[in-house]
Structure 1
Amino acid sequence: MAFEIPDDLHPDARPLAWLLGTWHGSGRGEYPTIEAFSYEQDVAIAHDGRPFLHYFSQTWITGDDGERLRPGALETGFLRPAGDPPEGEGTAVELVLAHATGYAEIWYGVVDGPRLTLATDIIARTETAKEYTAGQRMYGLVEGHLMYAYDMAAEGQPMQSHLWGKLARA
């Protein structure tokens, strides 16, 4: 499926254009404090002509046969260009995310071609949310698929792999 950059995409958002669209796929998750799991995921990344992208992700925990067992994580936010990064390569970006599990995060990073890397700057959590202190995300466009990995430090554990997935443009 060919992808075209929309004519009305804000010029500042052009470095992020490769993320636009609806994506569907699956992934795996693990962490020392939980049982390993598989999930199905839908991601929608859209724009309205202003200098940001809207991001929405919904997941479902799946069984060994791929059948949906129950709803999983849900997050939404805004990805915005933030000028030039210190090292001078790519474009600096910021991501503001909110989660149904009681977190709000601010991430900073760099988009360089079809690769986006981000790290948390601020994590705010509600009184009922689990302890979570830091995260790192990497997204890349590989042979037409959106691949990603998410590492985190939480529940007294050091930074380590938590989620990874592969999504196709729907």
Structure 2
Amino acid sequence: MTGPTSGNEAIEAAAARAEHTAGRNLPRFADLPVEEDTANLREGADLHDRCLALLPLIGVWRGTGEADYPTIERYRYGQQIVFSHDGRPFLHYESRSWLLDEDDKVIRQAARETGWWRPQEDDTIEVLLAHNTGIVEIYYGKPRNQTSWEIGTDIVMRTSSAKEVNGATRLYGIMPGGDLGYVEERAMAGQELQPHISAQLTRVVG
């Protein structure tokens, strides 16, 4: 992942993309009696002040990535990530991915994650993630600057049927041009912490 862009560059890039993405949002239920989640800052509840350091993340992002590790064969994948909020001091996070062949055709569905990013008053970010593979992780981290965020696991729990995972770190950043990039290191299957996946995603909502 290339270095993060400046705050001004990110704002300019977002304005240029908004012509195509500003009118889109998450599906909604008109009869829901409480505030709905929004992935578009132009709609819905005002963003809570505590979440301002995470503002550039809010939206729906879609793109491709690559996975590699000593215990697996390298593969490519597609991914969609959603960062949304309902006005309270946390973000809802959801990710789903699918395996791709060499022609970018979908082979099958792959990993899913859901959870919460909970920024605290001291700028610490608590992240809770649950994986469809039976893994639950608690991360802690902080913003590195206005457009990048680094988190690392404090606790990893797994069901009896899940594969061995002992720790992970993630670095997210808004790249020059406005895409969301991230890299993940993971310690699993008896291996030390090392690079595992990386992706570059383009905003499609927000």
TM-score range, shorter chain: over 0.9
What are the residue-to-residue correspondences of 1:96-135 with 2, within 5 Å? 96-111=128-143, 112-135=145-168
Aligned length: 164
1:44 is the counterpart of 2:112 = no
1:93 is the counterpart of 2:120 = no
1:8 & 1:83 partners in 2: Cα distance?
18
Please report how far the alpha carbon of residue 5 of structure 1 lies from its aligned counterpart in structure 2 after TM superposition.
4.7
* Contact 2:166-2:187 at 8 Å conserved across structures: yes
One-letter code aligned to 1:47: H
* Contact 2:50-2:120 at 8 Å conserved across structures: no
The residue number in structure 2 matching 1:35 is 73
What are the residue-to-residue correspondences of 1:127-146 with 2, within 5 Å? 127-143=160-176, 144-146=178-180
Structure 2 unaligned regions, length at least 5: 1-16, 23-39
Q: Please state which structure has a larger fraction of its residues in helix.
A: 2
Please report the TM-score for the alignment, with normalisation by the length of structure 1.
0.93
Report % sequence identity. 41
The CA RMSD over aligned residues, in Å, is 1.3
One-letter code aligned to 2:201: L
What are the residue-to-residue correspondences of 1:51-90 with 2, within 5 Å? 51-84=89-122
2:118 & 2:41 partners in 1: Cα distance?
17
* Contact 2:64-2:199 at 8 Å conserved across structures: yes
Q: Please state which structure has a larger fraction of its residues in strand.
A: 1
The residue number in structure 1 matching 2:202 is 168
Structure 1 unaligned regions, length at least 5: 85-90
Please report how far the alpha carbon of residue 149 of structure 1 lies from its aligned counterpart in structure 2 after TM superposition.
0.2
Please report the TM-score for the alignment, with normalisation by the length of structure 2.
0.77
